[in-house]
A and B are shown apart, each in its own frame.
Chain A
């Protein structure tokens, strides 16, 4: 078939707008408030719109999984390593310049 691209592009058809679309919009706007008046629902809508995640459920599940993996994989380190506390005690006994138990 001899056709050019523009001929095919011109085939495109758009369905008619639904009946009463403008009136529904107008009615909904009447129910809403304009900016300046605090609305908790509006605040939450704007807040959640700031986090446009693709596939939000998967993204959050993946983040939770990664967080749990990193958390359980990390070593729990104590504040004082036994070897360090022994060295400190030894220094304190020899030098005597620090008060017992003081960490500098």
Chain B
């Protein structure tokens, strides 16, 4: 990043090649559409290139954590500006050969329902879920990426999971245990 700040395009190219795909996945998890995710990632990297001073090396924050913040905020801003994009059908079907055909179809339908449910979550809950559960960030890193405290992050996570669980119970994908109100494992 120090070299990028000096205008070293080669250093920027190295960063882009190393991280573009990873942040495409992060952007896709926020937007639910691959074209939108591509636009978000491109815009985030170009913002980095045009304003590299936005990343302050002296603050001790990792570049990857900081860039998650850029990508997440950009995805949210674009959604607010352009409206929510219908969940695309480009989720690849990867049928498990050992499963019966009808089971694979069911899994594909469940994946579609899952993606739609996640995209319906409020932005900050979706961001917390994506960063912690799917991107594998620690709570501390995710809180930094979102610019919130750890308690606030945990609250967002809990609300996201509760909302999803209630949704899936209603859809019949999860059966709630009537005795202890916990979903059956």
Q: Which residues of A line the B interface, CB within 8 A?
A: 1-5, 8-9, 11-18, 21-22, 24-26, 28-30, 32-35, 42, 52-56
Complex: A8 Cα to B184 Cα, angstroms: 12
Is B110 among interface residues, defined by CB-CB distance under 8 A? yes
Scoring B residues 100 to 121 as 1 if CB is less than 8 Å from chain A, else 0, what string do you get? 0000000100110011001000
Chain A residues whose C-beta falls within 8 Å of the C-beta of B16 in the assembled complex: 22, 25-26, 29
* Residue in B28, B50, B80, B115 whose beta carbon sits within 8 Å of that of A54 in the complex: B80
Complex: A99 Cα to B44 Cα, angstroms: 70
Is B7 among interface residues, defined by CB-CB distance under 8 A? yes
Chain B residues whose C-beta falls within 8 Å of the C-beta of A1 in the assembled complex: 172-173, 175
Complex: A5 Cα to B12 Cα, angstroms: 40
A80 to chain B: closest CB distance in Å?
A: 50
Q: Is the CB of A25 within 8 A of B107?
A: no
* Residue in A11, A17, A32, A33 whose beta carbon sits within 8 Å of that of B25 in the complex: A17
Scoring B residues 56 to 89 as 1 if CB is less than 8 Å from chain A, else 0, what string do you get? 0000000000000000000001001101000000
Complex: A12 Cα to B108 Cα, angstroms: 10
Q: Which residues of B line the A interface, CB within 8 A?
A: 7, 9, 12-13, 16-17, 20-21, 24-25, 28-29, 34, 38, 41-42, 45-46, 49-53, 77, 80-81, 83, 90-92, 94, 107, 110-111, 114-115, 118, 133-134, 161, 164-165, 168, 172-175, 183-185
Among A1, A12, A32, max chain B CB count under 10 A is at: A12
Q: With A17-B25, A22-B21 as given contacts, are A8 and B46 in contact (CB-CB < 8 Å)?
A: no
A7 to chain B: closest CB distance in Å?
A: 8
Complex: A54 Cα to B20 Cα, angstroms: 29
A88 to chain B: closest CB distance in Å?
A: 57
Q: Is the CB of A29 within 8 A of B81?
A: no
Chain B residues whose C-beta falls within 8 Å of the C-beta of A42 in the assembled complex: 50
Chain A residues whose C-beta falls within 8 Å of the C-beta of B17 in the assembled complex: 22, 26
Chain B residues whose C-beta falls within 8 Å of the C-beta of A53 in the assembled complex: 81
Q: Is the CB of A9 within 8 A of B114?
A: yes
Complex: A5 Cα to B38 Cα, angstroms: 29
Chain A residues whose C-beta falls within 8 Å of the C-beta of B81 in the assembled complex: 52-54, 56
Q: Is the CB of B34 within 8 A of A35?
A: no
Chain B residues whose C-beta falls within 8 Å of the C-beta of A54 in the assembled complex: 80-81, 83
A8 to chain B: closest CB distance in Å?
A: 6
Chain A residues whose C-beta falls within 8 Å of the C-beta of B185 in the assembled complex: 2, 4
Q: Is the CB of B168 within 8 A of A34?
A: no
Instruction: Name the CB-closest residue of A to B117.
Output: A8
Complex: A16 Cα to B28 Cα, angstroms: 10
Q: With A14-B25, A29-B45 as given contacts, are A34 and B111 in contact (CB-CB < 8 Å)?
A: no
